[in-house]
Structures are given as structure tokens and as C-alpha cells.
Structure 1
Amino acid sequence: MTAPDDGAGPAGAGHPLHLRTKLILVTLGLLTAICAALGVLSHLAMSSYLTGQLDAALELAAGRAGFPGDRPPGDDDDRPSGAVDPENAAGQRPGTLNAVFDDGQARTSALVQDDGSTRPLGPADLDLLAGLDPADAPEELTLSTGHYRVDAAGIPPVPGSDGAVLVTGLSTAERDSTLVSLAVTVAGLSLAGLALAGAAGTVIIRRSLRSLEELSAAATSVSRLPLSSGEVTIPVRVPPAAARPGTEVGTVGLALNGMIDHVASALQDRQASEMKVRRFVADASHELRTPLTSIRGYTELILMSEVVSPSARSALERVDSESRRMSSLVEDLLLLARLDEGQRGEASDVDLTELVIETTSDAQASAPGDTWTLALPDEPVVVRAVEAEVRQVLINLLSNAHKHTPPGTAVTTAVTVEEGLAAVTVTDTGPGIDPAFIDTIFTRFSRADTARSADAGSTGLGLAIVQALVEANGGTIRVSSEPGRTRFRVELPVSQPRHIPRREDS
């Protein structure tokens, strides 16, 4: 079952995406955007929360290192007010740094180690910390020992200085590790969720679009049915599961079934009308045979036995000519009627090359002014067909090549065998066929007198009979034409090889 094609897609005009693929991709794209937004928002929220905790811890660490300003009343600490001891590691967690600056110069500094001891900061780190302004909010710096969040606070100056600054810092490694773990967790869960959503969405979308695919399959099947002629039935319908009212797809399914029913009814009416016309033509042709034969007989009798004036003789000869033409038309109509009703002769092995020789000889005898050429294989080409019908095909094609071309036209008849098919081509060097007439050239009563000579008085049935006879014998016929070259090609299935004695040419 084919999926509905929605036209052009992002994959290019040559490879459009199916609707279900587009829906899956759009759904996954939206989910990816949502997961990304949630991840970013979660990261920002967690980062803000952890940074706030880090700032609170930073304030506590600064209080442990010293007491900027006056001590609270009742404090029993024996240090004088404003005293700062950066090297005091009591209560400080590993990674905490403290430094005191007087007039921009480092007075003392300490970095708490994992074992609780302290060590001074390097000159490069002190240069970075010396530029901090106590009026600014805490900020983050990258020192030689890692990434830190630091804050500066003013403390009472020592004698002989204008002011002192205490800088306290805490490592952000724990916060950064937590944020990385959060990002990895969110990414992993998002990928797992997208995979699960993609699998579930694929199943759901496929099941949801199954009705639409059934509609597409039904429409495709109807489009491939031969509806142009003959008795036509349309057995294809949209399944009831896809034609339920209440949903968009179900409404379309009901409408499509209604349209198919309407088309089927119209085709049945057309077939009934065609059968009435064909029956009328067949009956009329049968009825016309007898009076036409009588007219021809009485006309010939008068011409042979009575003495009539020249004008009367000319009129009688005209009557005889027109009655013969009408008799030919009636015979063609009867032949088509018999083919429509399946009334045919028995098929047998027919030597195609021999038939071509015989019919071409007859055509040359009736049109000696044209140049007739044969191109035949060395071995007989045998087809399984009704001999009289194949002979009629060749006679009509050769007659057309003579009647619709000027005198002196070269006509070449060739027989070839290609891939199990025997091909007969009749090629003439006439003026060609009007391109506008090519598509309807095998239609009954189709004429193109403006494209070829109108003197022959064609009835427009010759090529229709040719096509009907060829198709009745399991073959095909094609035509190609351009000024100076018109070719009809008939292909018939080759019979199983067997010996057929050829009659000597008379």
C-alpha cells in the first residue's frame, strides 16, 4: 500500500518527504526544542540557586576570617575590634582563600588546604585579587588553583595606611560539578525521551494515517483501470474502516466512494448506450446489404442490356460507383460489429512473410505508379493469428500508403523478429500526417483530409479496423510520421518454430 504523497518536500523536488515522515520530524523537532528550553531553564535556575548558596557561604567565610567594623556586643573574643587573621583555618572548608590588602598591597594571604593547613597565594593570584572593589558584588575569577567566587570587604586600616580590604573566595568546583551532572542528566533523559517519543509517535502516526493510505491506494487503483471503452466495472472501494463519518479522513473516504459509484454508474450508462449504437449499426448494416446488392445488380443489368443516353449512362455509372462505396462501408461496419461481439475465425500458424509478399504484389498491381519494396528475412516468420484478419491489416495499410500519398511515392514493407515479436513496418515517403491527427488516427470515423489527399473519399474506418484486428490477435500497432516519412509498425507474437511449406509465388 502506498503512502500519500504531499508534493514537494524539503528533500528536493525529486524525493519529496511523505506526510508521516514530515509529522514525525516536526514532532521530534518541537520536542527537541522543548527539551532544550527546559534544560537551559533548569541550568539557569540551578546555577542561580547554587550561586546564592555560594554567596551565603562566602559571607560566612569572610566573617570567620575577621570582623570588619565593630564586634557584636558581648562577644568574648579577645581579639581587638577590626582584627583580621587570614591564616586562621578554624571552621574554614578546604579551598577557601583569604587575603588582606593595604593600599593595594598584599599584607597577608592564605589558601586552606585539604588537610586544614594554609599556604600563601602566588603573586599572579594576588595581582588579580588586588583589583577588587569592596563596593562591587561578588564575582568569579580564574586563579592558578582553579575557579573561585570572590568578594571584597573593607576592614579597619592598620596605623599608617589609608584603608584595608579583606578578600575572601570559595572554589566553584562543587557548584560547577553539580551543574555538569545536571546537564548530563537532562541531556540523557531528553535523548531517551526523544527516542521513546519518536518510536511511539511513529506507531501512532502510522496508525492514524493508515486510513489516508487506504484512500490513496483506492484512488491509485481506480486511476489504473482501463475506463476509456468497453464494459467497465470498478470493484475498488475505500474500506469501511476508512470511510466513517465524523473524521476528516472518513468524510473524504465517503466522498471518494460516492464519486466512484457515480463514475461506475455513468460508465455503465455509457456502455449501454454504446451497445445500443453498435447493435443499431450492425442491424442497419445487415439490412442495407440486400438493397445495396439489388441496386448494384439492377444498375449493371441496365448498363449491359439497355440502350441509354450518354447522360443516363453517366448517372447509372455514378449510382453503381456510389453503391459499391456504400457496400464497402457496410462491410467495414459489419466487420467492426463482429469484432465487438467477438465473432472471429480460428487462429492458426500464419507465414507472415508470405502474406506480405502476396498483399504487396496485389498493391503493386493496383498502383503501378508507386515504387514498392520488400525487406524480408531469409527464414519464414510464423505468427499465431487468424490469417484473414492479418491479411486485412496488411491490405488496409498498403492501401492507405497508396491512397493518401501522391503518385511515385516509395513504399517499403519490412518484416523483422525482435524478442519474440514479429514486426511488420509499412513506410512511405509521402507528405506525412498532421501531428494534430496522430492521437486520433485509429479512432472510428476519424479523418484528416486536410493532411492528406481527400480524393480517395476515406470513410475513416480503415485504421480503426486495423487496430481492432491487430489487438484481437494479441498485437499492437504504432505510427510515427514526419514530412517525407510515415511508418506504421505492427507487432504480433511469434508462434513456436515449426516447418510450414511455402507456396511458390505465382
Structure 2
Amino acid sequence: MVATVVVALVVFNPARRRLSALEEAAQRLGEGDLTARASQAGGDEIARVAAAFNRMGSELETRDAALRTSDALRRQMMADVSHELKTPLTAMRGYIETLRMPEIALDSERRDRYFETIDRETRRLERIVKDLLDLARYEHGGVVLQRRLFDIERLFENVAGRHEREAQTKAVAIRIHVDPLADQVGADPDRIEQAIENLVANALRHTPSGGTITLSATQADGMATLSVSDSGGGIAPEHLPHVFERFYKVDAARAAESTGSGLGLSITKAIIERHGGTIRVTSQPGRTTFTVLLPQSSGI
């Protein structure tokens, strides 16, 4: 028992203090203090999240003048930080509090499960911070596009391959159809791959076992049309105008099970608009399609 108490104090007290400091820094940043930083000591998952958080804070501080030109956008960003980091931080602190209580006898299975939850929440925190930073960069012109002609079918295959194992586990088929006239697309391939990746990840989360996800590309009148369709349950009409809003939850129960940051579709929209393109969504029971229109740049 004494050994258990000592281990709990040595291991969990520092972690608890660092989580509290990270939570306080997130709160300060959410209140507009762009100098708020968290300690990166520890060399573990918490330190990794703190480092990502500090990078975001430094980026926001550097871009403060640009942010101030759109006060509403600045307030939105601060509110996002404060609100979205609070839930995983609180969950992590709760599990750590339980783990460090020697009077609570936890079997090894439950202890391992708690540690897995803490690890999952730290990874979620890191995703949220990274995606918030990405979104800020796209929305404020902090990303320089590297436009060139690239093979869209190969890009589709890269994205599909990344999700092959998960798709097989769910018994979901991923199909690719590329019009021969659309085999070459002029844009920033890395950014477009990020956008398609987000759309496919979203489709895979919402496609039932035995369903299909289709990636397609066509080209006409100087425009490339890329689409990602799934055979999921569809999106209700009242939700369609809001699907690209940051953290918007179409289905609260389904969103609670999601491992995403809640920013994927917002980032996708920002990427496409940064290219001068548009993205839209259509949906009915059994089929949802996200369609991207990209202008083919002259001079590539």
C-alpha cells in the first residue's frame, strides 16, 4: 500500500500539475492573452500537446495584427481554443485523479483502460490544436500554395490506401473513377490531398458496413470537379447549410463517438477557397456527396 501511494504521488502529481497549467494557459488564451504558454517539460504525451499548443499561441501572437482586422474572427478563434480544449483536459484530469487515489482499488484491466483513455484524449488534444492552427493559417493567408500539375488518380489512390485497413475492417468499399480528361489537375497537390483526406475520413465515419465510398474526378470548361460520395444515412436538410462550420455536430450521439477534431470540413473548405474554388454538399437518404470545383490555373 505504501509503495502504491509513493508511486501515485511521484507519477500523477506532476502530471496533474502540468495538466492544470495547460488548462490555465488554454483559458488565458481563450480570454485573449496571446502570451499564454504551457510548460513543455516531461517528454511525454502531455509535453507533446503543450508544444503544439505553444506553437499555436506563437502563431496567433505573430498574426495578431492581421487577426485584429477581423475582430469577430479573432474572438471566434479564442472561443474555440477555450471551449474545445476544456473537455479533453477535464477528462484527463478526472482519470488521473482516480488513478492517484490509493484508497480506490483498481484492477490492472481498469487501470490500463484509464491509461488508454488518457492517451486517447492527449492525441485528441493534439489534433484539435493542430487543426485550429491549420485553420487560422488558411483563413488568414498564412499558407503559400505550390501549384503544379499532378495526377489526381494517384492522389486518390494514396488517400484510399491510407484508409484501406479501416475500410476493410468495416467492410466498406472505396472506389475511384477518373475521367481521362481529368487525369491532370493544376493545384497544390499536398493541400488538395489534405482536403480529400478529410472528406474520405468523414465519409468513412458515416458509412455503414457493406457501404461504398466513391472518389471521382471530371474536367470541363477549365474547371476540375472532384467529388467524394458515400452511401451513409444522409444529412437532414436543416443541417446542410452548417456542415462546414467549425465544431458543428450534425448528430450529437455520432459526434460523441468521433475521433476527429470537428474541424476537418472547415479546413477543407478553407483549402478549396484558398485555391479560388468552391465546395458544396448534397445529401439524401443513402447518399451524401461533397463536390469540389477548382479553377485550372493558367501558367502552371
> 1:322/1:355 Cα in 2 relative to 1: closer, same or farther (>3 Å)?
same
Q: What is the CA distance between 1:443 and its match in structure 2?
A: 1.1
Q: Aligned to 2:194, what secondary structure does the other structure show?
A: helix
The partner residue of 2:187 within 366, 374, 385 is 385
Distance of 2:284 and 2:252 partners within structure 1: 15
Aligned to 1:359: 159
Find 1:321's aligned residue among 120, 123, 145. 120
CA contact (8 A) 1:383 1:493 kept: no
State the Cα distance separating 1:459 from its structure 2 match: 4.1
| Runs of 4+ with >6 A deviation | none
Inter-partner Cα distance in structure 2 for 1:426 and 1:458:
18
Q: Which runs of 5+ in 1 are unaligned?
A: 1-268, 296-307, 499-506
Name the SS of the counterpart of 1:448 in structure 2.
Answer: coil
Q: 1:344 aligns with which of 133, 143, 147?
A: 143
**2:178 pairs with 1:376:** yes
Offset at residue 434 of structure 1 (A):
1.1
Native 8 Å contact 1:383 1:495 kept in 2: no
Larger helix proportion of the pair: 2
Q: Number of paired residues?
A: 211
Q: Which has the higher contact order (CA 8 A, sep 6+)?
A: 2
Question: Residue in 1 aligned with 2:74?
Answer: 275
Alignment correspondent of 1:465: 267
How far off its partner does 1:310 sit?
2.7
Q: Matched residues in 2 for 1:280 and 1:437: separation?
A: 22
Q: Which residue number corresponds to residue 225 of structure 2?
A: 423
- C-alpha separation in 2, matches of 1:319 and 1:350: 43
Counterpart for residue 494 of structure 1: 296
The one-character-per-residue Cα deviations of 1:91-148 (angstroms, maximum 9, x if unpaired) are: xxxxxxxxxxxxxxxxxxxxxxxxxxxxxxxxxxxxxxxxxxxxxxxxxxxxxxxxxx
What CA deviation, in whole Å up to 9, does each residue of 1:214-235 have, x standing for no partner?
xxxxxxxxxxxxxxxxxxxxxx
Amino acid at match of 1:427: S
> Structure 1: which amino acid aligns with 2:224?
A
Q: What amino acid maps onto 1:333 in structure 2?
A: L
Tell me the alpha carbon deviations over residues 238-292 of structure 1, each in whole angstroms, 9 at most, x when there is no partner.
Answer: xxxxxxxxxxxxxxxxxxxxxxxxxxxxxxx99324324436767x79x99xx9x
Question: In structure 1, what is the Cα distance between the partners aligned to 2:212 and 2:256?
Answer: 20
Distance 2:111 2:70 in 1: 47
Question: Normalised by the size of structure 2, how large is the TM-score?
Answer: 0.62
Secondary structure of the structure 2 residue equivalent to 1:446: coil
- Gaps in structure 2 of 5+ consecutive residues: 1-67, 94-106
Q: Secondary structure at the match of 2:289?
A: strand
Question: Any idea what SS the aligned residue of 1:414 has?
Answer: strand
Cα distance in 2, alignment partners of residues 367 and 447 from structure 1: 23
Is the 2:124–2:259 contact (alpha carbons within 8 Å) kept by the matching residues of 1?
no
CA 1:273 to 1:419, structure 2 compared with 1: closer, same or farther past 3 Å? Answer: closer
**Correspondence 1:408 to 2:207:** no
Instruction: Specify the code of the residue in structure 1 equivalent to 2:129.
Output: V
Question: 1:427 Cα shift?
Answer: 1.2
Q: Which residue of 1 aligns with 2:52?
A: none
Is residue 448 of structure 1 aligned with residue 250 of structure 2? yes
Q: RMSD of the alignment, in Å?
A: 3.1
Deviation at 1:381, TM superposition (A): 3.2
Q: For residue 363 of structure 1, report the CA deviation from its aligned partner.
A: 2.1
Structure number with greater Rg is 1
What corresponds to 1:95 in structure 2? none
Cα offset, 1:489, TM superposition: 0.5
**Aligned partner of 2:147: which letter?**
S
Q: Is the 8 A contact 2:223 2:296 kept in 1?
A: yes
The letter of the residue matching 1:371 is A
Q: Distance in 2 between matches of 1:270 and 1:474?
A: 22
TM-score (norm 1): 0.38
Residues 439 and 277 from structure 1, CA distance in 2 versus in 1: closer, same or farther, beyond 3 angstroms?
Answer: closer
5 Å matches for 1:392-403? 392-403=194-205
